[in-house]
Amino acid sequence: MFDRISRRYDLMNRLMTGGRDVAWRREAATIAIGAGAERALDVATGTGDLALELSDQGVPDVTGLDFSHEMIVAAEAKRQHQSVAGVTFLQGDAMNMPFPDGSFDALTIAWGLRNLPDYEQGIQEMARVLRPEGRMVILEMTPLQNATLRNAFNLYFHNVVPVIGGVISGDRDAYRYLPDSVGAFPPAEDLAGMMRAANLRNVRYKLVGGGTVALHIGIRN
């Protein structure tokens, strides 16, 4: 599915968030880096925006990992177009990553966790490749708590987004999957609990986008 929508992926992200996804990725990168990071991993990197942002903010060695071949092709084309060094894009499985334990100082994942087959196992695998004191930042959609707002958002997500996605990407089914995956995703506090269970401490989160997006951070023990 993600192979099919890779060409219009960035445009749909901008349209669905009103362009705010750029600022949220920037904030995620800043938080993940903290006082400094030598090696960073962006999981489910898609077309590479967050990996490239980590590089822009001074991380000398960045890896972007994604399951989709076409997303990696798009990310590498973007890297070359921007003449960015120090960023490597790899195709791979986030549930079984090809890295030794404690390989990275910082790890990010934006709008990718809810696409994994097992959220808890995915977080544990990401924690595995973080060194002690390394930071994990998760940027993801989250269910709205206000019932009225949730109903309005669901109406938009289930009826408007698939139509727009179908017109722009030519794949309406892919954008029917989006609201379904968001609806199945756990609330922000439950996700924080999963992070704590994966040996992360000082776990906290903030809601952005009117409460539709959560930015979680945790530090590896």
pLDDT of residue 134: 98
pLDDT of residue 82: 97
Fold exhibited by the domain 2-141+185-220: Rossmann fold (3.40.50)
pLDDT of residue 4: 60
Residue with tokens 């001074």: 58
Phi-psi region at 44: left, alpha or beta (left = phi > 0; alpha = psi -120 to 50)? left
pLDDT of residue 168: 72
% pLDDT > 90, the chain:
71
pTM of the model: 0.89
Q: Cα–Cα distance between 117 and 69 in angstroms, integer?
A: 18
Q: 87 forms bridges with which residues in the sheet? A: 62
Q: Cα–Cα distance between 221 and 212 in angstroms, integer?
A: 29
Could you tell me if 102 and 136 are in contact, meaning their C-beta atoms sit under 8 angstroms apart? Answer: no
Span of 11-20, 29-38, 77-86, 104-113 with lowest mean pLDDT: 11-20
Helices 9-17, 20-33: inter-axial angle, 10-degree rounding: 100
pLDDT of residue 102: 99
Q: pLDDT band for position 158 (50/70/90)?
A: confident
The answer, yes or no, to whether residue 89 has pLDDT greater than 70, is yes
DSSP designation for 30: H
Q: Cα–Cα distance between 216 and 205 in angstroms, integer?
A: 4
Q: What is the pLDDT of residues 48-71, one digit of tens each?
A: 999 999 999 999 999 999 999 999
Q: Cα–Cα distance between 21 and 110 in angstroms, integer?
A: 10
Q: Residue 206 corresponds to which tokens in the numbers above?
A: 């903030």
